[in-house]
């Protein structure tokens, strides 16, 4: 179970009691004070079940426990201070006994949940349940998983094989050699509403067959776990071991795959997150058909249009995403998308924090030609782009580059222009020399001015700017000298702006936009 930790204040729930008072002049026969009136059944409102027993008895046989086995290294001298005389003594003793430091391992097990989706033994679970480490970010040094065991509700055990994985959504598909198994289905429609009932069945802490119920608390929740975040939030009790298990609606259809909890303690606090069926369904279909997942690709580096960046652009709202970089000869470049464009709508869908450009593009069929609405120089435009197939994650990460040491051997320039940017932005700029380019591993195509100093407490410092960062443009105006930077800042002041938009390059990485507030001018 993936856990997002946070400090959450405790809430105190206070209940009250209602009293019914009979009129003093009632003509009814006296009734003893402790007499119990006849029970009157209260019919629940429409859609609220009296019990989940009948439904869960039908669903539970299709929910399974998933366990893995792997060999993990053991420290021979655990408990002894490293480098201590006692550790050295034990090491020499083992060498004298003929033990030459052979690796010592122990068997480690992990537990999770899953559910059967076909009578012939296809099973859905989370990738992190069957991975040697974090399902989204596997460690190359982690010992491999040696075996996967699936245990049914009747305690029948099967060895499982991996059909396919999708680390980006933390999904995996397993297969067991069996027939006539009970199975469940994904909800056919994406019409889940906040407030709908939700039933979780799983294997929390190894307690298989545990059933909990709650409601759908939120939709399209972005918890920062990855670029395709689109979780369904529920208050049904979910704990470690529920990962990979199903979240059902009252029709017995799977509306989500329980994946993560938000907790300060590691236990349930009513904040559980499930991959919704609308996301999982096509992923599992692809894994079952080919063992891999194909995603759409546009070839842009994007950033959310935060309030600061929106202010720097002079836009009235913070919806949309700004293009920070465009891959040469990629789908976006061929469509005419440029660095600095603000994409507001794609294929008819508004781009928001909960409906990101990455998510929409990833779920667009490869080869589809789609309309993209954007803002450029304050003008709305609509262009058409043909979606390509997303390269492997290794290629994508290689293209993004790596950050370099921010310490740069740059001398703060003493000029009116440099002083102007220091007073307006809290940063001192210097020209980009070939020596700095080499030291910072900057591509030959990069043109800009280098940050040689930052004033503590300035908004530039709070935005994470560092010495050695290269400012490529200010408010979409290229800046290759401190004088050009000062002129762009001065133009922003005259236009009544209180924030400027900086395009910043750090090392060989992709450029990013930062909205930096101007320091109030002194009179």
Angle CA 62–131–133, to nearest 5: 135
Catalytic-role residue among 67, 243, 325, 424: 243
Under 8 Å between Cβ of 514 and 465: yes
Under 8 Å between Cβ of 248 and 255: yes
318 is catalytic: no
Sign of CA dihedral 189, 195, 198, 204: positive
- Residue in the block written with tokens 């293009």: 323
The verdict on whether residue 60 carries a ligand-binding annotation is no
Can you list the pairs that 318-322 forms with residues at least 24 positions away whose Cβ atoms lie under 8 Å?
319/344, 319/350, 319/351, 319/352, 320/344, 320/351, 320/375, 321/351, 321/356, 321/357, 322/513
Residue 517's closest CA among 483, 492, 494, 495? 492
The verdict on whether residue 170 carries a ligand-binding annotation is yes
Catalytic-role residue among 110, 128, 166, 235: 128
Q: Around Cβ 75, how many Cβ atoms within 10 Å?
A: 9
Residues in the chain: 523
The verdict on whether residue 128 carries a ligand-binding annotation is yes
Catalytic-role residue among 166, 170, 341, 469: 170
243 is catalytic: yes
128 is catalytic: yes
How far, in Å, CA of 296 to CA of 253, rounded? 28
Kindly state the helix (H) or strand (E) to which residue 188 belongs, with its residue range: none
The verdict on whether residue 133 carries a ligand-binding annotation is no
The verdict on whether residue 243 carries a ligand-binding annotation is yes
Point out the annotated binding site.
Answer: 128, 170, 241-243
Residue positions forming the annotated binding site for substrate? 128, 170, 241-243
| Residues designated as active site | 128, 170, 243
């Amino acid at each position: 179970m993936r856990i997002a930790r946070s400090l959450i204040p405790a809430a105190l729930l206070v209940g009250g009691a209602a009293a019914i008072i009979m009129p003093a002049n009632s003509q009814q026969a006296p009734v003893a004070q402790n007499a119990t009136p006849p029970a009157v059944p209260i019919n629940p409102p429409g859609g609220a079940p009296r019990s989940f027993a009948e439904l869960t008895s039908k669903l539970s046989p299709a929910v399974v426990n998933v366990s893995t086995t792997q060999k993990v290294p053991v420290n021979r001298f655990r408990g002894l201070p490293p480098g201590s005389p006692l550790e050295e003594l034990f090491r020499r003793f083992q060498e004298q006994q003929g033990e030459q430091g052979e690796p010592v391992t122990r068997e480690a097990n992990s537990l999770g949940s899953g559910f059967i989706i076909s009578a012939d033994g296809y099973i859905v679970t989370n990738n992190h349940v069957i991975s040697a480490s974090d399902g989204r970010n596997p460690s190359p040094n982690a010992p491999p998983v040696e075996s996967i065991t699936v245990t049914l509700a009747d305690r029948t055990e099967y060895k499982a094989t991996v059909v396919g994985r999708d680390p980006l959504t933390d999904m995996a598909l397993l297969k067991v050699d069996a027939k006539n198994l009970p199975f469940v289905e994904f909800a056919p429609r994406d019409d889940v509403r906040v407030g709908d009932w939700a039933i979780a069945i799983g294997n929390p802490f190894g307690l298989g067959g545990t059933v909990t119920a709650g409601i759908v608390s939120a939709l399209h929740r972005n918890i920062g776990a990855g670029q395709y975040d689109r979780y369904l939030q529920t208050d049904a009790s979910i704990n470690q071991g529920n990962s990979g298990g199903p979240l059902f609606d009252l029709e017995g259809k799977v509306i989500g795959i329980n994946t993560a909890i938000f907790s300060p303690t590691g236990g349930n606090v009513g904040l559980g997150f499930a991959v919704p069926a609308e996301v999982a369904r096509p992923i599992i279909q692809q894994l079952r058909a080919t063992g891999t997942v194909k995603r759409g690709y546009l070839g842009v580096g994007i950033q959310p249009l935060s309030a600061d960046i929106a202010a720097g652009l002079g836009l009235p709202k913070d919806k949309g995403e700004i293009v920070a970089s465009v891959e040469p000869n990629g789908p976006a470049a061929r469509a005419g998308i440029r660095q600095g464009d603000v994409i507001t709508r794609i294929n008819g869908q508004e781009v928001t924090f909960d409906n990101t450009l990455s998510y929409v593009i990833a779920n667009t069929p490869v080869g589809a030609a789609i309309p993209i609405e954007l803002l450029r120089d304050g003008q709305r435009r609509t262009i058409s782009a043909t979606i390509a197939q997303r390269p492997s994650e290794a290629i994508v990460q290689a293209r993004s580059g790596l950050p370099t040491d921010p310490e740069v051997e740059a001398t703060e320039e003493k000029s009116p222009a440099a002083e102007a940017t220091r007073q307006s932005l809290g940063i001192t700029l210097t020209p980009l020399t070939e020596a700095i380019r080499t030291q910072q591993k900057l591509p030959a195509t990069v043109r800009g001015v280098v940050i040689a100093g930052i004033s503590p407490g300035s908004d530039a410092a709070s935005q994470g700017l560092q010495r050695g960062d290269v400012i490529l443009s200010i408010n979409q105006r290229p800046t290759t000298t401190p004088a050009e930077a000062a002129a762009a800042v001065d133009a922003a002041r005259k236009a009544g702006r209180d924030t400027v938009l900086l395009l910043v390059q750090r090392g060989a990485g992709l450029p990013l936009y930062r909205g930096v507030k101007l320091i109030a001018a002194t009179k």
